[in-house]
């Protein structure tokens, strides 16, 4: 049996094409998918920084002059003592929309931990966005200063729209930037609303000096400096982030191990066609021994493939394979699952005497299982029924078990997936044994 196993392993390694498709292909596909879909995943690590660009479409000086002209015209027209109402230049200087946005908001200590911005022209910003040097471009529009002054110092309300352009591959980064800008708008709106309410409800009872003092207090409430900005860097469940590299290493591993299961069938039919199978039978080696050799070959190939993928991802993608005993346990179960599935395919291939069974599995069934098991797209983003089915597929359970381990979950949190794998192993093995027992050896031998 060991001789048959070693010979099968030698045959596997002697076929460069097979070896490439089992060892090299998963590495290539993982690399491509990880880079291509990196924007759909959270970046791991505390040094994660959101890089954005900010475009100033407004002209600070001319818009300030424009506002002063407006106020002077307003005061003259309605005979308002502008000096007393707004406490003159002091208050105007204190309320600086540019300073509020850049220093008080984006420069806030909490935001600075994960966001870095750079002021740039729109053209430069779009170019950097295209090159993914920044994830989003925030555009402060023309009249930003003027509109902010109008909204703040008068009871008029001008529409002010801060635009955010994001790279399509960096969805999550784009969402965070949009949320930040929405938050900034909300803070400014609440200040402006407070001021307007005050104007309309209190001003009839107070003199202009008292109004000026209280407006000054509202504007200097500093809400935009600290309050309302509470960024939590950790996941809700305090677990590790899964990068696209970690996800696709595991997803491709869970998919590519399934391909190995078709090789038992292919190998045994090759042997039948070149009569080495019959020769082994004549030498006294029974069918069970030959099949056990194939089982061990597939088991070992999954171990080798997993070891290569894990080592590659550790060295190249710097993926931290924590909880090694749990990873080893899952890998051993994965090898058993693939070998028992392979055994079933081998027996059916031998019985039908046709390559179609193993071919159909490797070219069709694996792809369907990959889709349902979350190897291409995470199950969380798929329709609910696919997610429900996927978690019970062998590769889906395998993927979940690995991912949860990488996230930091212990054995008790992966028992469901382990059970799914064990049930798969049992089902495949029982079907194989039933087929072998129900058919005579002669039926397997005849060509």
Partner 1 sequence: MLEIKNIKKYFNETKAVDNISFKVERGDILGLLGPNGAGKSTTISIISTLIKADEGNVLYKGVDIEKEPKKIQKQLGFVPQEIALYPSLSGYDNLKFWGKIYGLKGNKLKEKIEEVSQIIGINKRLKDKVEEYSGGMKRRLNIGSALLHNPEIIILDEPTVGIDPQSRNHILDSVKEINKKGSTIIYTSHYMEEVEYLCDKICIMDEGRIISQGTKEELIQSVSAEEKIILQVENINKKMIEEIKKISYVDKAAYVKKEITVEKKGNKADYSEILEAVSKNQGHLMSMDIKKPDLEFVFLSLTGRALRD
Residues contributing to the site for partner 1 (CB under 8 A): 3-4, 7, 10-11, 14-15, 274-276, 278-285, 442, 445-446
Shortest spacing between CB 285 and partner 1, in angstroms: 6
What is the sign, positive or negative, of the torsion defined by CA atoms of 29, 31, 32, 34? positive
Q: State which residue, 173 or 300, has the beta carbon closest to partner 1.
A: 300
Q: State which residue, 19 or 422, has the beta carbon closest to partner 1.
A: 19
Cross-strand pairs, 118: 53
CA–CA distance, 80 with 74 (Å, rounded to integer): 8
Closest by Cα among 326, 330, 323 to 306: 330
Shortest spacing between CB 337 and partner 1, in angstroms: 28
Cross-strand pairs, 219: none
Q: State which residue, 235 or 273, has the beta carbon closest to partner 1.
A: 273
Q: Which residues of 313-337 are buried (b: 16+ CB within 10 A; e: fewer)?
A: beeebebebebeebbebbbebbbbb
Shortest spacing between CB 361 and partner 1, in angstroms: 22
Q: Which residues of 122-159 are buried (b: 16+ CB within 10 A; e: fewer)?
A: eeebbebbeeeebbbbbbbeebbbbbbbbbbbbeeeee
Q: State which residue, 112 or 279, has the beta carbon closest to partner 1.
A: 279
CA–CA distance, 100 with 404 (Å, rounded to integer): 42
Shortest spacing between CB 6 and partner 1, in angstroms: 8
Q: State which residue, 268 or 341, has the beta carbon closest to partner 1.
A: 268
Q: Could you please report the per-residue DSSP string of 6-66?
A: HHHHHHHHH-HHHHIIIIIHHHHHHHHHHHHTGGGSPPPSTT--EEEEEEE-S-HHHHHHH
Which helix (H) or strand (E) is 193 found in, with range? Answer: helix 171-202
Q: Could you please report the per-residue DSSP string of 248-284?
A: HHHHHHHHHHHHHHHHHHHHHHHHHHTTHHHHHHHTT
Q: State which residue, 17 or 438, has the beta carbon closest to partner 1.
A: 17
Q: State which residue, 190 or 276, has the beta carbon closest to partner 1.
A: 276
CA–CA distance, 437 with 445 (Å, rounded to integer): 14
Cross-strand pairs, 56: 140
Shortest spacing between CB 295 and partner 1, in angstroms: 18
Shortest spacing between CB 432 and partner 1, in angstroms: 23
Cross-strand pairs, 117: 52
CA–CA distance, 139 with 207 (Å, rounded to integer): 40
Shortest spacing between CB 10 and partner 1, in angstroms: 6
Q: State which residue, 284 or 383, has the beta carbon closest to partner 1.
A: 284
Shortest spacing between CB 12 and partner 1, in angstroms: 10
CA–CA distance, 189 with 170 (Å, rounded to integer): 29
Q: State which residue, 274 or 320, has the beta carbon closest to partner 1.
A: 274
Shortest spacing between CB 370 and partner 1, in angstroms: 29
């Amino acid at each position: 049996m060991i001789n048959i196993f070693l010979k099968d392993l030698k045959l596997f390694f002697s076929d460069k094409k097979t070896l490439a498709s089992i060892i090299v292909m998963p590495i290539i596909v993982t690399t491509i998918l990880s880079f291509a879909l990196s924007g759909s995943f959270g970046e791991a690590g505390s040094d994660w920084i959101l890089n954005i660009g900010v475009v100033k479409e407004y002209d600070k000086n001319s818009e300030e002059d424009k506002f002063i002209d407006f106020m002077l015209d307003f005061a003259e027209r309605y005979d308002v003592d502008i000096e007393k109402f707004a406490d003159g230049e002091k208050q105007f200087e204190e309320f600086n929309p540019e300073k509020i946005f850049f220093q008080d908001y984006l420069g806030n200590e909490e935001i600075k931990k994960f966001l870095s911005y750079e002021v740039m022209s729109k053209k430069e910003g779009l170019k950097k966005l295209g090159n993914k040097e920044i994830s989003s471009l925030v555009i402060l529009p023309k009249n930003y200063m003027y509109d902010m002054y109008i909204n703040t110092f008068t009871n008029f309300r001008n529409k002010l729209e801060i635009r955010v352009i994001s790279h399509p591959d960096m969805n999550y980064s784009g969402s965070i930037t949009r949320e930040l800008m929405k938050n900034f708008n909300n803070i400014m709106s609440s200040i402006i609303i407070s001021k307007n309410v005050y104007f309309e409800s209190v001003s009839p009872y107070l003199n202009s000096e008292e109004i000026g003092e209280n407006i000054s207090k509202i504007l200097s409430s500093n809400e935009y400096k600290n309050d309302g900005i509470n960024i939590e860097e950790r996941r809700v469940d305090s677990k590790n982030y899964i990068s696209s590299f970690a996800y696709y290493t595991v997803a491709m591993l869970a998919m590519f191990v399934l391909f190995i299961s078709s090789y038992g069938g292919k190998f045994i039919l090759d042997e039948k066609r070149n009569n080495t199978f019959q020769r082994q039978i004549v030498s006294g080696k029974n069918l069970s021994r030959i099949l056990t050799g194939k089982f061990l070959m597939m088991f070992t190939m999954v171990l080798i493939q997993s070891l290569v993928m894990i080592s590659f991802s550790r060295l190249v993608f710097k993926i931290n394979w924590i909880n090694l005993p749990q990873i080893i346990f899952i890998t051993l179960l994965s090898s058993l699952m693939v070998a028992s599935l392979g055994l079933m395919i081998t027996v059916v291939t031998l019985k039908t005497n046709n390559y179609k069974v193993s071919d159909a599995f490797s070219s069709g069934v694996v792809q369907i299982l990959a889709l349902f098991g979350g190897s291409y797209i995470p199950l969380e983003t798929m329709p609910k029924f696919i997610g429900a089915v996927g978690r019970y597929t062998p590769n889906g359970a395998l993927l979940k078990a690995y991912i949860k381990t990488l996230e930091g979950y212990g054995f008790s949190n992966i028992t469901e997936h382990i059970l799914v794998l064990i049930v798969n192993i049992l089902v495949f093995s029982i079907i194989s044994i039933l087929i072998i027992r129900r058919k005579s050896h002669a039926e397997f031998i005849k060509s």
